[in-house]
Amino acid sequence: MRTSGADNRTTLAGQVEAMLRRLLHDPDEAANYERIALLRRIIGETTAFGQARAYEAIFGMNYDDRLGEIRTPSLVLAGVQDSSTPPARMQIYKDGITGAQMEVLPGAGHFPNVEQPDAFNEALRAFLGGLGS
């Protein structure tokens, strides 16, 4: 970050739209205006330092070889248009966790709970409702 002139107060404000285009299916979707506006604000206020640390943690995290240790009922949710963790990547989790279920939500990218909250909540409700049987 030093070569860019950024410091621990530098935010991602100038990168918000590019990030939303990468993370969301349709960042301009009018039906989700308030939720997308909130994401714009959150990303815009995130510091470059904080984002770099988050990426550092994500890149250092790989538990694929330990998925078989998970014994908890699991639901893997994916957005069809998620370029960060696409459905093919999420399928690895579903296949690696014994008994896991998977739902792929159309019209959603990396934040299906924001872009398709009704479908997301229905998938979660159905999964949780099936746990008692």
Per-residue pLDDT of the chain (133 residues; tens, 9 = 90+): 445 566 677 777 788 888 888 888 887 765 678 888 888 898 888 888 888 888 899 888 888 999 999 999 999 999 999 998 999 999 999 999 999 999 999 999 999 998 899 999 999 999 999 998 6
- 62 near 89, Cβ under 8 Å? no
Number of domains in the chain: 2
Could you tell me the pTM of the whole model?
Answer: 0.77
How many degrees, rounded to 5, is the angle at CA 68 between CA 83 and CA 76? 35
Instruction: Domain of residue 11: give its range.
Output: 1-61
Claim to verify: residue 118 and residue 69 sit in the same structural domain: yes
Claim to verify: residue 90 and residue 119 sit in the same structural domain: yes
41 Rama class: left (phi>0) / alpha (psi -120 to 50) / beta: alpha
Claim to verify: residue 40 and residue 70 sit in the same structural domain: no
From 34, 61, 88, give the residue that closes a domain: 61
Q: CA-CA distance, 108 to 105, in Å (whole number)?
A: 6
